[in-house]
Chains A and B, each alone.
Chain A
């Protein structure tokens, strides 16, 4: 084969030299025509592929949108029904379904080709209505009727569900009439720059207008509006100046290690205001710098993080935990007890909780990142502690540890027990007996309310080579 081709080439080049220019035109024309044909065919297939993809995308969006509509329809009906049920049990059944439908609606809304923040308020409504239904369901499930206030909250929510349903049906109608389609969006290009108004964003902007006057919703759930405005209680009284804050930074890192400190813009917009510093180290490039945030009120470490390369693992986990603990005591976090840790790539992140009278106070959480080459502290994260720490009144309970233990599923083999204060999803605290037990070689943590004997929480402990995770 190859030989033949070689001969052909020779022949044609011979021919070329003989006929010179004349013969050039024909092959060029043939090549051009072939190229054009090739490009056309390629273009045609590209175009068809693009069309297919567009249709596929459009179908996805339609599916998400129609699903959203259906779930909002259901949500509206269920809320209406929940207002007229005669027994707490009946209300409970409705509310449980409200929670489910609202979640599904919210998930589908997140798949629409509408970039945030456009549907922010609508999404917020769907989350809250589900969350509230869940909170009320917990109450009604136990046979307690809803209060008048709670009913009026549900009524308000129903009103919003109605108007949301109406607006969504408006869009649906436009799609059905062919006045609007997902394909007309202009694809992702449009999504990247939200400043161009088109039918679609305008329509969804209108949906958002339903929630212009949406009030704060307060109830016992993680997404209740009061959760966003929690005031910190773990800050000390004394307010510190920038100078003092810098001294604190020097002390915590060690003055001899610091090359220079640069002050960053203060954080004045959070419920904890801080001075922010960038710290450059001796014998280290800029990449090895750290950021440290010190609270204005209290002069405590809010947050610290340094990224540097490691020089192998040289110290044990016990030593790392010890070094972290000493560091915390020296820097204003006394009485901390280590709970869990994660170890990855030569770093260990150890979680510490405050301990008061033998009770582990989990909400007062400080995380410490330790380098396992020399035990240097590379990170502190004390938000949990600063927001929650205070002296607790640990109640005298009539329920003894043994009584609490007898309430536990007998299949579980108990290995450890103690007392703890645990946080709830809506930032209250519960005083509990804590048990660690094993079933089928899986480890669990169980929390029995020390006052009521109710099982408040179960955590699954996942031990990996890298440490222990709770789930």
Chain B
């Protein structure tokens, strides 16, 4: 019986991935945020399958949110500490690994783009929050210039997490999630799109607060806001 279930699950997985591959839009998150009594469709079917796999549901996986499905959702929610409402809300779905489709292949590109954006935005936020917009783009550009330069690690994470390279990383500001609507995210995006206000600089510092000696040995190329930029 167990084996059977696995087989069914596998087949479904294969079918779904084919469906996903044939879609034109290759990256999307499911628009369904909750499922409730009376709902029908693919999402319900998947949820039922999950519930069945976990031993909460022994009815038919038919894509119809009936009373038996309602009962098993209730039981699932109680067991996993969700509010037992019988409505599979977003959190419940996510906990089952549903609510988000990640078709094979193409997604990594789009999502890694978002990761880069966040990573860059967090450093910008920590390093240049109060600076003018072009000063924020400039800090992002510095990081990207380093990735392209022979003197620095070759990946974005390599450059950002290089020990001692950025104060915002050393003091943990890098771990503060940034609202995707905030200005620093826009700045990160523009930097990633290729806008470089620094003309290829690799270093920047604030002459008012900098304590290191080495900065006085660098050639200053230009100044934006409170920061000096150099190579």
**Using a CB–CB distance below 8 Å, which chain A residues touch chain B?**
103, 106-107, 110-117, 120-121, 123-124, 127-128, 131, 188, 191-195, 223, 265, 267, 269-270, 272, 276, 287, 289, 291, 293, 303, 305, 307, 342, 344-345, 347, 349, 367, 369, 379, 381, 383, 440-442, 460, 462-466, 469, 471
Contact = CB atoms under 8 A, between A and B. Distances in A.
A103 B152 CA distance: 11
Contacts of B26: 441, 462-464
Contact of A115 (B21, B164, B187, B211): B164
B196 interface: yes
A117 B214 contact: yes
B174 to A, nearest CB: 13
Contact of B133 (A272, A305, A462): A305
B208 to A, nearest CB: 15
B16 interface: no
Contacts of B187: 307
Q: Which 9 A-B pairs have the closest CB atoms?
A: A115-B164, A191-B164, A127-B150, A110-B153, A307-B133, A270-B199, A223-B150, A462-B109, A195-B213
Interface string B12-36: 0000000001101111100000000
Interface stretch (B54-62, B72-80, B215-223): B215-223
A191 B165 CA distance: 8
Contacts of A293: 197
Task: Name the interface size band of chain B.
Answer: 35 or more
B151 A192 contact: no
B110 A464 contact: yes
B164 A188 contact: yes
B212 A194 contact: yes
B152 A110 contact: yes
A465 B150 contact: no
15 contacts: A106-B154, A111-B162, A111-B163, A192-B167, A195-B212, A269-B199, A269-B220, A276-B222, A289-B133, A291-B197, A345-B181, A441-B26, A463-B26, A464-B25, A464-B109
B108 to A, nearest CB: 9
Contact of A124 (B151, B180, B189, B214): B151
Given A124-B151, A305-B134, A113 B199 contact: no
Given A111-B163, A121-B151, A193 B211 contact: yes
A192 B200 CA distance: 24
Contact of A287 (B21, B109, B133, B212): B133
B113 A124 contact: no
B222 A265 contact: yes
Given A115-B163, A269-B221, 19 more contacts: A110-B159, A116-B151, A116-B203, A117-B218, A188-B164, A193-B212, A195-B212, A195-B213, A223-B150, A270-B199, A291-B134, A293-B197, A303-B195, A303-B197, A379-B190, A462-B109, A464-B25, A464-B26, A471-B109
B110 A107 contact: no
A114 B180 CA distance: 33
A307 B183 contact: yes
Contact of B151 (A120, A191, A193, A383): A120
Nearest to B105: A442
A286 to B, nearest CB: 8
A107 to B, nearest CB: 6
A113 B163 contact: yes
Contacts of B163: 111-115, 188, 191
A107, A287, A441 — most chain B CB neighbours (10 Å): A441
B115 interface: no
B30 to A, nearest CB: 14
Nearest to A227: B150
B186 A194 contact: no
B137 interface: yes
Contacts of B28: 465
A107 B170 contact: no
B177 interface: no
Contacts of B110: 462, 464, 466, 469
A465 B164 contact: no
Contact of A114 (B21, B137, B164, B222): B164
A221 to B, nearest CB: 10
Interface string B166-179: 01001000000000
A230 B14 CA distance: 51
Contacts of B152: 110, 116, 123
B53 interface: no
Contact of B219 (A269, A383, A462): A269
B194 interface: yes
Nearest to A188: B170
Interface string B43-57: 000000000000000
B200 to A, nearest CB: 7
B162 A116 contact: yes
Contacts of A466: 110
A306 B137 CA distance: 11
Contact of B164 (A113, A345, A381): A113
